[in-house]
Amino acid sequence: MLRRTPVSRPPLSRVATLLLSAALLCPAPGAWSQVNGAPTNGRSPAASPNLPSLGDGEDLTVAAERRLGDRIAQSIYRDPDYLDDPVIGDYLLQLWQPLLAAARRRGEVSPELSERLAWELMISRERSVNAFALPGGYMGVNLGLLAVTERPEELASVLAHEMSHVAQRHIARMMSNEQRMAPWMIASMILGALAAGANPDAAGAAIAGSSAVAAQQSLKFSRDMEREADRIGFGVMTGAGFDGHGFVEMFGKLQQASRLNDSGAYPYLRTHPLTSERIADMQARLPEATPALGPRADAAPQLQGLPSGMQHALVSARARVLAERDSTRWATWVERARSPDAKPADLYAGALSAQRLGQSARALELSERLRKLTTGDAARGVADALAMELLLSPGAPAQPALLAELRDAALGAQSRAMVMLGAQAAMATGQAERATSRLQAWTVEHPRDALAWQLLVRANQAQGHTLRAVRADAEAHAAHYDWDGALERLKAAQALPAAQRNADPIELAIVDSRRRDVEQRLRDAMRDDDKR
Would you list the DSSP string of 133-154? Answer: EETTTEEEEEHHHHHH--SHHH
Q: How confident is the model at residue 172 (pLDDT cuts 50, 70, 90)?
A: low
Per-residue pLDDT, averaged over 479-502, amounts to: 96
| Statement: residue 180 has pLDDT above 90 | no
DSSP 8-class letter at 124: E
| Statement: residue 192 has pLDDT above 90 | no
Beta pairing, strands 131-134 & 138-142: antiparallel
Question: What pLDDT was estimated at residue 343?
Answer: 96
Measured distance CA(140)–CA(120) in Å, rounded: 8
Q: What is the pLDDT of residues 111-166, one digit of tens each?
A: 999 999 999 999 999 888 888 777 788 887 899 999 999 999 999 999 999 899 88
| Statement: residue 348 has pLDDT above 70 | yes
Q: What is the pLDDT of residues 78-114, one digit of tens each?
A: 888 999 999 999 999 999 999 999 999 999 999 999 9
Q: How confident is the model at residue 173 (pLDDT cuts 50, 70, 90)?
A: low
Question: What pLDDT was estimated at residue 137?
Answer: 87
Per-residue pLDDT, averaged over 291-319, amounts to: 69
Question: What pLDDT was estimated at residue 296?
Answer: 39
Reading across the β-sheet that carries 138-142, which strands appear in turn? 120-124, 138-142, 131-134
User: Are residues 273 and 257 in contact, defined by beta-carbon separation less than 8 angstroms?
Assistant: no
| Statement: residue 335 has pLDDT above 70 | yes
Q: How confident is the model at residue 183 (pLDDT cuts 50, 70, 90)?
A: low
Question: What pLDDT was estimated at residue 98?
Answer: 96
Least reliable range by pLDDT among 58-67, 241-250, 516-525: 58-67
Question: What pLDDT was estimated at residue 60?
Answer: 66
Write down how long the chain is: 532
| Statement: residue 293 has pLDDT above 60 | no
Question: What pLDDT was estimated at residue 28?
Answer: 33
Question: What pLDDT was estimated at residue 56?
Answer: 34
The three-class DSSP label of residue 123 is: strand
User: Are residues 144 and 132 in contact, defined by beta-carbon separation less than 8 angstroms?
Assistant: no
Question: What pLDDT was estimated at residue 207?
Answer: 35
Identify residue 304 by its one-letter amino acid code: Q
Residues 6+ apart with CB under 8 A from 75: 190, 191, 194, 195
| Statement: residue 14 has pLDDT above 60 | no
Percent of the chain with pLDDT over 90: 54
The three-class DSSP label of residue 332 is: helix
Beta pairing, strands 131-134 & 120-124: unpaired
| Statement: residue 38 has pLDDT above 80 | no
